[in-house]
Structure 1
Amino acid sequence: MWIIGLCIVAVLVVYLTYWLNKWSNPKCNGVLPPGSMGLPLIGETLQLIVRSDSLDLHAFIKKRAQRYGPIFRTSLVGRPVVLSTDLEFNHYIVKQEGSLVEMWYLDTFAKFLGMEGENRMSALGNVHKYIRSITLNHLGADAVKEKLLPQMEEIVNKALQTWSSQPSVDMRDAASKMLLDFSARIFFSYDAEKLLQLKLSEKFANTLGCFMSFPLNIPGTTYHKCLKSQKEALSMLRKIVKEKITSPEKRSENLLDQAIDDMEKEKFLSEDFIVKLLFAILFASFETSVSVLLALKLLAEHPAALQELTDEHEAILKNRENPNSVLTWDEYKSMTFTFQVINEVLRMGNVSPGLLRKALKDIEFKGYTVPAGWAIMLVNSALQVNPNTFKDPLAFNPRRWKDLDPLVVSKNFMPFGGGIRLCSGAEYIKAFMATFLHVLVTKYRWTNVKGGTIARTPALEFIDGLQTKFFVKNN
């Protein structure tokens, strides 16, 4: 019997050795980028989600780029991935969508947003064209110019009036609610009171952990909690969509109403698709709250920049015939220093860890081969903190944008993605931030009294929130 036992052990050892070797050295028709696949199945996920308390590039990415070079391989949540901090490779990949690569999400986040399999909203062709068209129609520059700007000012005024009447405000919660309230108003005409009853902002806040969590749907796990919150949020949105479909007399010209009207001519549009589309767009808007918090933190810590910003906006008021009139498009476009501040906030605080793509074919670049089926993470945040492009990159210096070459900026600054996937809500996000800063510095003072600790996990977050006190200015 002991001979049989030894044989079984020997077979197991041989099999495990073969399996571990196969895991560590994936099959490739060329030369794989250098790197490590980490532990079987787990890969190096745990190292990536360890908190890094800095605005700098996440320690996992920075250390491996220093060790292996700007293009390296790893394994995350059970998937082989090539990470790139290489400028040329990143620009090459974003231009190859539909031929060499396609948009991709980590499995957990794809399922979470309903983007897996045939229902994946990242599909090319008519689906992508439609999504881009409808979002540009309601969030693009024309929409901001013609109707959204005064609405933004209205909701920011209302929010700041409320915040200034309180001893202090948890800005992580307050900013996300402000953005969600406004998005819900323009997407499906829901007011703040209805949203408060639904507690939709709480559901979105509970979903952020899905970015890098393991797809283990077991009670107690982060993924299980995320799915529960997602299910509740989708259920709320489904009720809203059904209400609109069954009550055509309540329709207006918002995004949801247009999507419902388009169901007759677009075959892929279904009730379920519209629900998930709403969820994805609201989620993207919700994430913008981190940029608002970062602006409050950095401006409070840099009084010279705050004074220059204040001077620019007070000059706008002085140049008006009526100081109490609403913000105009021409005034918005004249905010030179404001845009420098926004660019600097977005450069330092890129929320997303990177752009994700999936190789459709073997990709050869600089002597390396990315096998078909592998994921590719383009770490553009690395370009935005590169000291060769941005001197002293971890210093908040809005003035740097005055002298930067526009061509250099276009290649190294991509907070809204790139290629055909350039975010169609980019103007909307910048306009909201500019409007928020306009109202803030002309009517209020503030001090950050607690919190403000920044971390990357690898997405940017305020781990202890930001407790802020607002004061009405005495003009």
Structure 2
Amino acid sequence: MRFGKTGIYKAFMFGNPSIIVTSPETCRIVLTDDEHFKPGWPLSTTELIGRKSFLGISYEEHKRLRRLTSTPINGHEALSCYVGYIEDLVIIALDKWSRMGEIEFLTQLRKLTFRIIMHIFLSSESEPVMEALEREYTMLNYGVRAMAINLPGFAYHGALKARKRLVAVFQSIIDERRTQRRDGVAVKAKKDMMDALLDVEDENGRKLSDEEIIDILVMYLNAGHESSGHTMMWATVLLQHHPEFLQKAKTEQEEIVKNRPAGQKGLTLREIRQMNYLSQVVDETLRWVTFSLVVFREATKDVTVNGYIIPKGWKVLVWFRAVHLDPEVWPEPMKFNPSRWDDLTPRAGTFLPFGAGSHLCPGNDLAKLEILIFLHYFLLNYRLERVNPDCVVQYLPHRRPKDNCLARIRRT
């Protein structure tokens, strides 16, 4: 049932009376009002991602962990350090793919983004370890958006097993790090996020438990590569479908290289900040794809939203895709058009690719940095030839071509 034009619907989902919100204003209120709403993810999702992750902890714990993890990932100094590493991996990957013949473009992109996030959190570059963990995360993701049926043969059952294996790997890494510290083994000159999580303590000297560290890792490593890989793929595919947008984005990248000081090798964060049109391409891709379709909140007390009472304990589903495809906000919403972003600053609640409020994705700047660097080098030197350009699109667990974008990468 819809309440007038407020974008509020009543439903009964996941065993709870629920409200679905779809208008920009109601989405903004629910996402930013921490006094009346808390995370309300289904228990099945929390079981997979972790009870001690951002999905299951209290508001105060969330704030504390966000302060700890956001600066090493999204801070200016951190991003500046990551540019060269991301750049090197992108250059190597594109060259390798161009010599491989047919590849699953999406699969290779997910491997690339997973390698990047693994370096940030665990400083691990072991190919076998990364491939094994990436496979477990693929299985975990299928279960997150599946029916919670814990029986062999069902995605959720497989996801629980994948989580168990991930927990075992992360526990062994934690044990090894603690043993190295106890035995006085020389530490790395530069700490990774695992070191930061082992070191942090609150005002009372309390350190994070192994369970808390593991759940944070499960959450960050999952979120830190899936959305970036899919966005890179769709941005590339959509640009290939619209040569006029591709040429405009490519020209901008050529100008950046042309204006580079003599002797400079590689991109700088300052140059990336100058990629205005390419940034519009990324934003339009994020809007068009809407990787995270929905987030869950729960009313902590009776609250009135746009004149309607949401009772305490009711689940609230914030439907991002409905906002991003609202024709009153985005004319011709299914049309991919980066130029719609010319001189546009979206009003609050109308553009939510990374959420909003205190629960805004803490890795949003890193994700966009990865995407921009990849597109920069792809546009300058490569083109995509899809083997099945009319391939059926699959929507679960995420929107993607059923063949994972089978293609050849050609040098230009």
Note whether the superposition's TM-score is higher than 0.5: yes
- Structure 1 segment 289-368 matched on structure 2, within 5 A: 289-322=229-262, 325-368=265-308
SS in structure 1 at match of 2:312: coil
Please state how far the C-alpha of 1:409 moved relative to its aligned partner: 3.9
Q: Specify whether residues 460 and 272 from structure 1 end up closer, same or farther in structure 2 by C-alpha distance, changes over 3 A only.
A: same
1:123 matched to 2:58? The reply is: yes
Q: Do the aligned partners of 1:244 and 1:250 also contact (CA within 8 Å) in 2?
A: no
1:125-161 Cα shifts (integer Å, max 9, x gaps): 1x21232123222211414443011111011111111
Partner of 1:432: 370
Give the counterpart letter for 2:25 in structure 1. E
SS in structure 1 at match of 2:19: strand
In 1, Cα distance between equivalents of 2:338 and 2:218: 33
Partner of 1:195: 129
In 2, Cα distance between equivalents of 1:294 and 1:104: 30
SS in structure 2 at match of 1:352: coil
Please state how far the C-alpha of 1:122 moved relative to its aligned partner: 3.5
In 2, Cα distance between equivalents of 1:441 and 1:68: 43
Partner of 1:219: 152
Q: Do the aligned partners of 2:79 and 2:366 also contact (CA within 8 Å) in 1?
A: no
In 2, Cα distance between equivalents of 1:439 and 1:470: 12
Q: Specify whether residues 144 and 349 from structure 1 end up closer, same or farther in structure 2 by C-alpha distance, changes over 3 A only.
A: farther
Q: Do the aligned partners of 1:210 and 1:223 also contact (CA within 8 Å) in 2?
A: yes
SS in structure 2 at match of 1:399: helix
User: 5+ unaligned residues in a row in structure 1: which ranges?
Assistant: 1-33, 36-64
- Structure 1 segment 56-95 matched on structure 2, within 5 A: 70-95=7-32
Give the counterpart letter for 1:373 in structure 2. G
Pick aligned residue for 2:39 from 97, 103, 111: 103
Please state how far the C-alpha of 1:77 moved relative to its aligned partner: 2.9
User: 5+ unaligned residues in a row in structure 2: which ranges?
Assistant: none
Partner of 2:177: 244
> Over alpha carbons, which structure has the higher Rg?
1
- Higher relative contact order, chain-length normalized (CA < 8 Å, sep 6+): 2
Pick aligned residue for 1:287 from 220, 226, 233: 226
In 2, Cα distance between equivalents of 1:414 and 1:119: 18
Q: Do the aligned partners of 2:384 and 2:407 also contact (CA within 8 Å) in 1?
A: yes
In 2, Cα distance between equivalents of 1:361 and 1:458: 32
In 2, Cα distance between equivalents of 1:165 and 1:89: 50
SS in structure 1 at match of 2:297: strand
Partner of 2:116: 182
Please state how far the C-alpha of 1:436 moved relative to its aligned partner: 0.4
1:31-58 Cα shifts (integer Å, max 9, x gaps): xxx36xxxxxxxxxxxxxxxxxxxxxxx
Please state how far the C-alpha of 1:164 moved relative to its aligned partner: 0.9
Give the counterpart letter for 1:94 in structure 2. L
Partner of 1:418: 356
Q: Do the aligned partners of 2:54 and 2:216 also contact (CA within 8 Å) in 1?
A: no
Pick aligned residue for 1:140 from 66, 69, 74: 74
In 2, Cα distance between equivalents of 1:459 and 1:106: 18
In 2, Cα distance between equivalents of 1:441 and 1:459: 25
Q: Specify whether residues 141 and 303 from structure 1 end up closer, same or farther in structure 2 by C-alpha distance, changes over 3 A only.
A: farther
Report the TM-score, using the length of structure 2 for normalisation.
Answer: 0.91
1:469 matched to 2:402? The reply is: no
Partner of 2:386: 448
